[in-house]
Amino acid sequence: MPIYTNTSANTVNTGDAIFQPNETRTLQFYVYHPSITMTNAEPYPEVISNSGSISLATGETVEIILNDEIRCMNDFIVQILSGSVKLYYNTTDNKAIEFTGVYQDQVSSRFVQKIIVEAKEDSTVGSYFVKNLE
């Protein structure tokens, strides 16, 4: 995992981690701050296991496949930049979650194998990201 050092004489809050002055830490994620220096990037964390773009017209859908090979937790983010959507777990027979903007959840691949995103209006644009947590 990446190793970072606070190169300043001040405590630094990156929003994800707090570093004391001159502190070196190993993190499970990447951080960005002018006073924090990455001193070692290896081994690289598996950041994203599945990602893609969304560009849909009203009623069109995209299926986001989670991990169907091993049982694990999946962290996913669906980000809608324009338009609005309905999000379903596994099948459109389930109750929809309607939203605009960003939706994030953590689900078990034992119960959820895919996410279905359906556009509620034309020119719906966005993206999605999935990370398998083992």
Task: Give the domains, in start order, of the chain with CATH numbers.
Answer: 3-40 (no CATH), 50-133 (2.60.120.10)
Say what the pTM is. Answer: 0.65
119 contacts 73 by C-beta, under 8 angstroms: no
Rounded mean pLDDT for each run of 10 residues along the chain, 134 residues in total: 90 90 88 90 69 94 82 88 96 96 91 94 94 76
Look up residue 124 and give its two tokens.
């719906």
pLDDT for 45 equals 58
pLDDT for 94 equals 96
pLDDT for 41 equals 80
pLDDT for 127 equals 94
Distance in angstroms (rounded) separating the CA atoms of residues 134 and 125: 30
pLDDT for 46 equals 62
